[in-house]
Structure 1
């Protein structure tokens, strides 16, 4: 049993066999969240995992299907925290997953320094530009634009939260690759794996996945490209597996 409020709906996470509360008036998760959840290294049996900029809790839900570790999401918007925790309750994951209200800036003071084995983050992608978001729904604007936190804020906080030797994963836009790598090294996270995601063959990459290790040694691996669609417009085999489990 789940209580839906206003225009909320209960959507399927098919590959995981879970459900999630979403709303057309709040920014819904995209394929980027699916990609990050699948790309991220996870300890299988135990560990502490934290997801920053959690929104409605989709990445913690995705991750719960891949690990028995304890998962904490961090989200600053009250409505999204409420939606996330009702989804967690509906899926009976209260003993493994929780989403807390918190500001990414300084979140380590609230939750603890060097406490987590894995940090994930799907941050706002776009620098603040009032012309782009001034007429936009507040929830959408905060999710898309660096209004309440910047890329540097998220990387600095990830560095504070993760243990020495722990892993940090981000999904972002390829155009921010150099910024991400520079900031990761500034905050002692050594980039170790990068994967570019393309809409289809022959198109430019539009998603960047990057993983680093706190105080790791330099040794960057560039993974094979990942394609979302076949030229026919159908999902590729890899994406069908991620989305549907088949």
Structure 2
């Protein structure tokens, strides 16, 4: 998606689960992005063994939303690992980003709005400063379910809360950022995982 929609030619994708890694390989092949996308089968908790420190200018991730103890876990282990912090926790994700990024490199995350306070605290422990945030609402009159966050390594500038820019699209209100991510009316409440089906990294 990034290679096609944003025209990036230097993407490295890390995936833990074997089946999802195979699906990613198939997607890269079908979209003819072999030159633009490199796939790595590995564990983000051990990125230091696969990538040198400061190897990337940008990191984009969609980590598990739920803690081990929250909600009902899927009977499918693949889905359970994708949705719950079974194979990695928030601190592992941020620690990996700190290792991978160059100074002033950028981290982009989508995360539950209910865990925003926890997210900012963990980021600052690892020298990652939140720079901009945008709240994602399932409908215009409903509380935010998700937050799109942009953080910068070793940056101390003040946080900027972006004004919402909504566009009516059937029953769902979608900003330009969400449309770029492939967001549509299926991601309203009641479908997917916490207002959006999880997709590993």
User: What's the TM-score, normalizing by structure 2?
Assistant: 0.82
Q: Which runs of 5+ in 1 are unaligned?
A: 1-60
Distance in 2 between residues matched to 1:182 and 1:237, nearest whole Å: 27
Distance in 1 between residues matched to 2:138 and 2:70, nearest whole Å: 29
**1:114 counterpart residue number:** 54
1:1-246 counterparts in 2 under 5 A? 61-129=1-69, 132-133=72-73, 136-227=75-166, 233-236=171-174, 238=176, 241-242=179-180, 243=182
Once the two structures are superposed, residues 124-159 of structure 1 have per-residue CA deviations (whole angstroms, 9 ceiling, x without a partner) of 0101138721x5211110110000000110001001
Contact 2:3/2:37 (8 A) holds in 1: no
**1:34 counterpart residue number:** none
Relative to 1, partners in 2 of residues 1:229 and 1:99: Cα closer, same or farther, differing over 3 Å? farther
Distance in 1 between residues matched to 2:113 and 2:172, nearest whole Å: 23
Contact 2:64/2:83 (8 A) holds in 1: yes
Q: Which runs of 5+ in 2 are unaligned?
A: 184-201
**How far did residue 91 of structure 1 move?**
1.2
**How far did residue 208 of structure 1 move?**
0.6
**1:23 counterpart residue number:** none
Equivalent residues, number: 182
3-state SS, counterpart of residue 201 of structure 1: coil
Distance in 1 between residues matched to 2:158 and 2:178, nearest whole Å: 31
Q: Segments of 4+ in structure 1 off by > 2 A?
A: 61-65, 225-230, 234-244
**Alignment RMSD:** 2.3
3-state SS, counterpart of residue 65 of structure 1: helix
Distance in 1 between residues matched to 2:157 and 2:103, nearest whole Å: 15
Distance in 2 between residues matched to 1:83 and 1:186, nearest whole Å: 34
Distance in 2 between residues matched to 1:64 and 1:168, nearest whole Å: 20
**How far did residue 241 of structure 1 move?**
4.8
Once the two structures are superposed, residues 25-53 of structure 1 have per-residue CA deviations (whole angstroms, 9 ceiling, x without a partner) of xxxxxxxxxxxxxxxxxxxxxxxxxxxxx
